[in-house]
Amino acid sequence: MAQIAETIAAQATPAGFGGIGVVRISGPKVRQIALELIGTVPAPRHATATSFLDPLDGRVLDYGIALFFPAPASYTGEDVLELHGHGGPVIVDQILGRVGALGARLARPGEFTERAFLNGKLDLVQAEAVADLIDSQTAIAARYAIRSLQGVFSKEINAISSVIAEIRVYVEANIDFSDEPVSDLGSDQAGEWLEQVREKILALVDRSRPGVLLARGAKVVLFGAPNVGKSSLLNALARSERAIVTATPGTTRDLIEVTVELDGLAVSLFDTAGLRDSNDEVEVEGVRRAMAAIESADLVLEVIDDLQPRPAEVGPGLTPGTAGIKRIVVFNKCDLSGRPFGAVRAEEGGHRVAISATTREGIECLEQAIQDELGYQTGEDIIMARRRHVDALQRAIGHLGQAKAHIISAPELLAEELRLAQRALGEITGEVTVEDLLGQIFSSFCIGK
């Protein structure tokens, strides 16, 4: 258990007015604060109805419930006191002020969960799952976050790491006792083991990619020339009238954002100004913002009026920064052009879909194409992951590939690559950590968690 001298406190319920306001306190001064504030240290894990007193003059600040969780059987692994009172911001602020006067400081974002990690109550994947669960935008995202919080992802990482450790034992023992090898691990068997581990990690990467999308959601930007039906398509996907639709070109001047759910995936849709050359200062700014949105998108929908011949270049054209962005070409107004609705075959590959935004025909096909192009899928084996997890897994795969190349010629390099592969996996669970990484992770949490 980490030795932490400071006691921290924070409001654990959302700011503003509410039925209940919770103040959470953790650290070595919890018992002293309880004695000063409520006159006793409550029985562990029992709800105690009590007055919250001002230690200066003894007047009652509020009346509610106190819960005490002694170390190490608490969320943080330290003594924890929770004060459940009325949810007025003035009352909560008064209680926090008195707690501060008794020796607690305000907690940083995520500091309670950081202490849970430092005290061995959670590994780093589980700690991140706490934030993912709070930030979940869909029921499916919440379900997968719960699985990670329960340790499903961590167990798989630890199992793979154990296999690498076992191989390292053989390799390093044979290096240390090269005159009399302690095992008969042959190069063929070692290569087979390494390939099996590598395939397991590759499978884990494939299962993690949809989880990365679930954790952060996807950004999809609609672009095209004026009057091709971008705003109508936004409304069709949102199933509500969120954007103004008129026959006047240039109606949309600024970005319009709508979040929709596609099979459990939160997708932020952005309607943009029509891309064209213009002398209108406001329209020019709208086009600039549209291009900025496209450059940061996970996927763009290029909307085309199927009644018009397709131009060689849309408006001022796309920038080099958009070259690698995934794209779906959407032929709109096909109820008028006569093109069959649904997927459109293309010689050069990529998704092309024929729709009518006004009649909603072809929209379901487009929604499926969006999921396919993003690489999103569902299933019980999906792992809720973050980009750093996938990066670490890919580094481990690279080290295992290098290790396999050194099996016969360079056992010392083989041992080093195995160590680096295991270290990369350790970064995921927090077995191997650096201070900057912890600061980056926990700073994204809400205060009080």
pLDDT tens digits along 133-186: 888 888 888 999 999 999 999 999 999 999 998 888 878 777 765 555 545 556
Tokens of 200: 């397991």
Q: Indicate whether 252 and 337 sit together in one domain.
A: yes
- What is the rounded CA–CA span in Å between residue 39 and residue 53? 8
Q: What is the DSSP string of 160-220?
A: HHHHHHHHHHHHHHHHHTTTS-S----HHHHHHHHHHHHHHHHHHHHHHHHHHHHHH-EEE
User: Which among 307, 314, 312, 350 has a CA at the least distance from the CA of 331?
Assistant: 307
* Strand ranges across the sheet with 265-271: 256-262, 265-271, 218-223, 299-305, 326-332, 351-354, 342-343
Sequential DSSP letters for 299-332: EEEEEEETTSPPPSS-TT---GGGTTSEEEEEEE
pLDDT of residue 397: 95
Phi, psi (rounded to 5 degrees) for 264: 95, -10
Mean of the per-residue pLDDT values of the chain: 84
pLDDT of residue 161: 93
Number of domains into which the chain is organized: 3
Same domain, 370 and 401: no
User: What's the pLDDT score for residue 315?
Assistant: 41
**In terms of domains, do 311 and 337 share one?**
yes
Q: What is the pLDDT of residue 36?
A: 93
21: in domain: yes
Do 340 and 238 fall within a single domain?
yes
Domain containing residue 146? 130-214+386-430
223 belongs to a structural domain: no
| Cβ–Cβ under 8 Å, residues 35 and 47 | no
Query: Is 437 a member of any domain?
Result: no
Shared-domain flag, residues 356 and 253: yes
- The CATH number linked to 316 is 3.40.50.300
Any bridge partners for residue 267, and if so which?
A: 218, 260
Do 237 and 344 sit in the same domain of this protein? yes
Tokens 């990670």 correspond to 148
* 12 and 86 housed in the same domain: yes
Q: Indicate if 307 and 426 belong to the same structural domain.
A: no
Following DSSP, what letter does each residue of 382-421 receive, concatenated?
Answer: -----HHHHHHHHHHHHHHHHHHHTTTT-HHHHHHHHHHH
My answer on whether 153 and 87 are in the same domain is no
Predicted pLDDT of residue 14: 87
pLDDT for the residue numbered 321: 46
Q: How far apart are CA 165 and CA 154, in angstroms?
A: 16
Same domain (yes/no): 355, 239 = yes
Q: Would 335 be classed as within a structural domain?
A: yes
Give the DSSP H or E segment for 230: helix 230-238
- CA–CA dist 203, 318 (Å, integer): 35
d(CA 235, CA 210): 26
List Cα–Cα distances, 116 to 75, 92, 120, 196, 228, in angstroms.
Answer: 6, 24, 6, 34, 53
In a domain? residue 1: no
What is d(CA 183, CA 162) in angstroms, rounded to the nearest whole number? 18
pLDDT at site 188? 72
Nearest CA to 245 out of 222, 227, 265, 267 is that of 227
CATH of the domain at 84: 3.30.1360.120
What is the block-wise mean pLDDT of the chain (449 residues), using blocks of 10 residues? 80 90 96 95 95 88 96 95 94 94 93 93 91 88 91 94 87 66 61 90 92 88 86 87 52 71 90 63 63 84 86 45 77 93 77 92 94 86 89 94 84 89 92 66 72
87: left (phi over 0), alpha (psi -120 to 50) or beta: alpha
pLDDT of residue 313: 41
The verdict on residue 108 lying in a domain is: yes
* Beta bridge pairs of residue 265: 262
Residue 178: per-residue pLDDT: 57
